[in-house]
Amino acid sequence: MIQKTARDFARKDLAPVAVETNESGRFPAEIYRKLGDLGFMGITLPEEYGGVHLGSFCLVLALEEIAAVCASTAVTMSVHNSLTNWVILTYGSEELRARYLPRLASAEILGAYAITESEAGSDVAAMRTSAVRKGDEYILNGTKIFISTGDKAGAIIVFARTDPKERTRGISAFVVEPGFKGFSIGKVEKKMGLKASTTVELVFEDCRVPAGNILATEGMGMRIALAGLDGGRIGIAAQSVGIAQAAFDEAMRFARERKQFSTRIIDFQGTRWKIADMATAIEAARLLIYRAAKLRDAGEPYTKEAAMAKLFASQTANRAVYDSLQIHGGVGYTSEFLVERLYRDARVTELYEGTSEIQRLVIARQALDEFERTVPD
Amino acid sequence: MKIIALLKRVPDTEAKILINPEGTGIKEDGIKFVINPYDEYAVEEALRLKEKTGGDGKVTVVCMGPEESTELIRTALAMGADDAVHVCDAALAKPDAFVSAAVLAKVAKDEGFDIIFCGKQAIDDDMAQVHSIMAEMLDVPQVNVAVAFEIAADRARATIRRRIEGGDERVETSLPAVISCEKGLNEPRYASLPGIMKAKKKEIRRKTLADLGFPGVPGEARSRITRWFPLPKSGGVKMVQADEPRDAAKELVRLLREEAKVI
């Protein structure tokens, strides 16, 4: 039923808006308000904070349906739910939770998550943005880049260095509002895809953050960042499968209509092999995602499974849009056909919330740990 | 106000319907079933009326249909209906309109009602009879094909706009009444996630014919579907070939006049 609501909303309400916003680059604030009304912006939050108290499993089902229609909407929704909401719920003081979560759940405000800096991409611990305690405030200085929803968010999780001497243990996490003095939006990126979502630079110039807006305690930032990303990766994996499914459906639609050499191209064996590979990979990706989500909901460790799901699903998406476009032929290269947008949107799934290379590092590290713990020499 | 919304489980409008080889029904495997789309307008209008008339209102969904209807009833509850009655009895596998109306009328009488909303027809068999027979059995007025509904301040009357050929007509009726709903009446809401969670705790009262006090199928079916036929395959497309557009047009006109006989 949750899936059906997400699907109906995506197809009826979101689809027409998605065509317009992906063309114009407009950020559809009204869509998030509607998603908020339907409960999709606080899926995993407890009811006392205006949420629905459902698990990640329901979140990924919904994300997949939304992503199949608009990947931009899905990434905004994923960051909001899996990163901002979850981090505030898990690491925020009761005061922070009460202040931000109900407004996040209703989508009165949107969430963002700011880790990346120009010199700190995959190497998160290299971040330089500083936070210095002064009385009952922290003073933040630095610049974050590539922040999804950064210019539209009302609550941004910002990671900054509170101790210059420590590397990973010197980082802390804060909830920053755009109204805080010293906060400003820098460059707005022009991206290859995801044109209906925004990606911006955030500039902190003596930005004053109340000391109470710290998450957990000083030095916990790196742990929070990585824990958040584990969940975020399941979300991006779901987004990837949504894109892949849409690419598959478009390929099917096209190949059943299109005739060459007096034959529907779906009846060529070459097409059928592509269809079979796509269908199999999509199904496998979905199962990896469901498993990671179920582990997370059961409170079990899921770092490895989340990375596997993200790696495999994002690769599946990129393979699927490639094959789907190939089945379309030349017309798939024009913006008349949805596959053109899917092709551009898919690319980033192998880059953000950890590149495919980083996912492999995570998986290998986990696998090695497991091996050393369980297999006797 | 006590508001009843009728709901029927029907094959998805997008489903490809195939008749079974015996001609006794459709092939159900692989087919998705949904709430009859016109009944969705009925549920929505019932919810809007409750919201408008204040806290004492109650929306009860009434459905007659197989076991599998439960999921669709839950969807209506998730949209915001308060509770539901589900008449589910093996003896009701193939009711005609008269039987359906008799059963639904009994439920309505037992529950009590100020107004009954229902779809103008079910999109499976397109009979569009049940609501009229039911209204007759309940001895209340009926207004069909509503595209707008407004309740009077005293809640004893309502004004309905009906879609008719070339225009609308406005009808005033006393209540209780049966109103059948047409597309355009409203835009049905989605089942929100909080709604879905709440619906889990709402009551669906299952009833058999015996529970309703019927010793057997009420009144016996008066009509019976004897056989189902697939539609004859369309004659295919004839492409007009000619070197010059002028000749193609001439040939097309000839075909339209002499073969298709449409001009």
Q: What is the pLDDT of residue A365?
A: 96
User: Of the ranges A39-43, A134-138, B18-22, which one carries the lowest mean pLDDT score?
Assistant: B18-22
Nearest to A52 among B71, B190, B194 (CB): B194
| Cα-to-chain-centroid distance, residue B256 | 39
Residue A52, chain B, CB below 8 Å: the answer is: yes
Q: How far apart are CA A322 and CA A340, in angstroms?
A: 10
Q: Are A102 and A39 in contact (CB under 8 A)?
A: no
CA distances from B262 to A190, B97, B233, B258 (A): 56, 37, 20, 8
- How many CA atoms lie less than 13 Å away from B199 in the CB half-sphere? 23
* B193/A37 CB distance under 8 A: no
* A5/B196 CB distance under 8 A: yes
Q: For chain A, how many residues are written?
A: 377
For A244-277, what is each residue's pLDDT tens digit? Answer: 999 999 999 999 999 999 999 999 999 999 999 9
Strands B177-181, B115-119: pairing kind: parallel
User: Residue A52 above 90 pLDDT?
Assistant: yes
Q: Are A326 and A248 in contact (CB under 8 A)?
A: no
**Model confidence band, residue B182 (pLDDT cutoffs 50, 70, 90):** very high
Q: What is the pLDDT of residue B120?
A: 96
Residue A46, chain B, CB below 8 Å: the answer is: no
Its ipTM equals 0.83
Look up residue A277 and give its two tokens: 């590979």
User: Residue B161 above 90 pLDDT?
Assistant: yes
Residue given tokens 């309940």 in the structure block: B138
B190 contact residues in A (CB cutoff 8 A): 5, 8-9, 38
Q: Which of A11, A33, A38, A43 to mutate to test the interface with B (most CBs of B within 10 A)?
A: A38
Residue A36, chain B, CB below 8 Å: the answer is: no
- How many CA atoms lie less than 13 Å away from A227 in the CB half-sphere? 20
User: Residue B230 above 90 pLDDT?
Assistant: no
For A37, nearest residue in chain B (alpha carbons): B192
Q: How far is A343 from chain B (nearest CA, A)?
A: 28
Amino acid present at B172: E
Q: What is the pLDDT of residue A147?
A: 97
A162: CB partners within 8 A, 6+ apart: A130, A131, A132, A133, A138, A170, A171, A172, A218, A219, A221
Q: How far apart are CA A34 and CA B249, in angstroms?
A: 52
B192 contact residues in A (CB cutoff 8 A): 5, 37-39
Q: How far is B14 from chain A (nearest CA, A)?
A: 14
CB atoms within 10 A of CB B157: 14
User: Residue B236 above 90 pLDDT?
Assistant: no
Q: Are B102 and B222 in contact (CB under 8 A)?
A: no
From the candidates A117, A353, A357, A370, give the one annotated as an active-site residue.
A353
For A55-66, what is each residue's pLDDT tens digit? Answer: 999 999 999 999
Tell me what the pLDDT averaged over chain A comes to. Answer: 96
* A5/B192 CB distance under 8 A: yes
For A58, nearest residue in chain B (alpha carbons): B193
Q: How far is A16 from chain B (nearest CA, A)?
A: 16
B211: CB partners within 8 A, 6+ apart: none
Within chain B, residue ranges assigned H as helices are 37-53, 69-79, 97-111, 130-138, 193-199, 245-258
CA distances from A108 to A34, A44, A48, A228 (A): 10, 17, 16, 22
User: Residue B177 above 90 pLDDT?
Assistant: yes
3-state secondary structure A296-349: HHCCCCCHHHHHHHHHHHHHHHHHHHHHHHHHHHHHHHCCCCHHHHHHHHHHHH
Q: What is the pLDDT of residue A256?
A: 96
Q: Which of B193, B202, B237, B239 to mutate to test the interface with A (most CBs of A within 10 A)?
A: B193
DSSP string, A22-82: HHH----HHHHHHHHHHTTTSTTS-GGGT-----HHHHHHHHHHHHHH-HHHHHHHHIIII
What's the rounded mean pLDDT across residues A307-322? Answer: 98
Task: Identify the sign of the CA torsion A292, A295, A299, A305.
Answer: negative
Look up residue B148 and give its two tokens: 């707008």
Tell me what the pLDDT averaged over chain B comes to. Answer: 92
Q: What is the pLDDT of residue A146?
A: 97
* A4/B197 CB distance under 8 A: no
Q: Is A353 a catalytic residue?
A: yes
Nearest to B197 among A8, A38, A52 (CB): A52
* A52/B193 CB distance under 8 A: yes
* B74/A8 CB distance under 8 A: no
CA distances from A23 to A144, A283, A374 (A): 27, 30, 52
User: Residue B95 above 80 pLDDT?
Assistant: yes
Q: How far apart are CA B73 and CA B71, in angstroms?
A: 5
DSSP string, A175-230: EE-TTSTTEEEEEEP--SS-TTS-EEEEEEEEEEEEGGGEESSTT-HHHHHHHHHH
* B192/A39 CB distance under 8 A: yes
Q: Are B116 and B177 in contact (CB under 8 A)?
A: yes
Interface of B with A (CB under 8 A): 71, 74-75, 78, 190-197
Q: Are B14 and B70 in contact (CB under 8 A)?
A: no
Residue A41, chain B, CB below 8 Å: the answer is: no
For B1-55, what is each residue's pLDDT tens digit? Answer: 999 999 999 999 888 888 888 888 888 888 999 999 999 999 999 999 999 988 7
Q: Which of A3, A5, A34, A45 to mutate to test the interface with B (most CBs of B within 10 A)?
A: A5
Burial class of residue B223, CB neighbours in 10 A (0-12, 13-18, 19+):
exposed
For A331-375, what is each residue's pLDDT tens digit? Answer: 999 999 999 999 999 999 999 999 999 999 999 999 999 999 998
Q: Which of B190, B197, B237, B239 to mutate to test the interface with A (most CBs of A within 10 A)?
A: B190
3-state secondary structure A228-275: HHHHHHHHHHHHHHHHHHHHHHHHHHHHHHCEECCEEHHHCHHHHHHH
Name which of A64, A63, A40 is nearest A50 in CA terms: A40
For A12, nearest residue in chain B (alpha carbons): B190
- How many CA atoms lie less than 13 Å away from A266 in the CB half-sphere? 11
Q: How far is A35 from chain B (nearest CA, A)?
A: 9
- How many CA atoms lie less than 13 Å away from B151 in the CB half-sphere? 21
Which residue spans within chain B are E strands per DSSP? 2-7, 9-11, 33-35, 58-64, 83-87, 115-119, 142-151, 157-164, 167-174, 177-181, 204-207
Name which of B116, B109, B123 is nearest B43 in CA terms: B116
User: Residue A135 above 90 pLDDT?
Assistant: yes
β-pair partners for B148: B161
For the stretch A265-269, contacts whose Cβ atoms lie closer than 8 Å and that sit 24 or more positions apart, written own/partner, are A265/A327
| Cα-to-chain-centroid distance, residue B222 | 21
**Longest Cα–Cα distance in chain B:** 75
Residue A4, chain B, CB below 8 Å: the answer is: yes
Percent of chain A with pLDDT over 90: 98
Q: What is the pLDDT of residue B17?
A: 86
Look up residue A94 and give its two tokens: 């009761």
CB atoms within 10 A of CB A375: 7
pTM: 0.87
What's the rounded mean pLDDT across residues B102-131? Answer: 95
Q: How far apart are CA A31 and CA A41, in angstroms?
A: 11
* A1/B194 CB distance under 8 A: no
Q: What is the pLDDT of residue B237?
A: 80
Q: How far apart are CA B83 and CA B79, in angstroms?
A: 11
Q: Which H helix or E strand runs over A374?
A: helix A356-374
Look up residue A370 and give its two tokens: 């497991």
For B192, nearest residue in chain A (alpha carbons): A38
Look up residue B191 and give its two tokens: 């089942």
* B74/A1 CB distance under 8 A: yes
Output Rg (C-alpha) for chain A, integer angstroms.
21
B70 contact residues in A (CB cutoff 8 A): none
Nearest to A9 among B71, B190, B194 (CB): B190
User: Residue A7 above 90 pLDDT?
Assistant: yes
Q: What is the pLDDT of residue B220?
A: 73
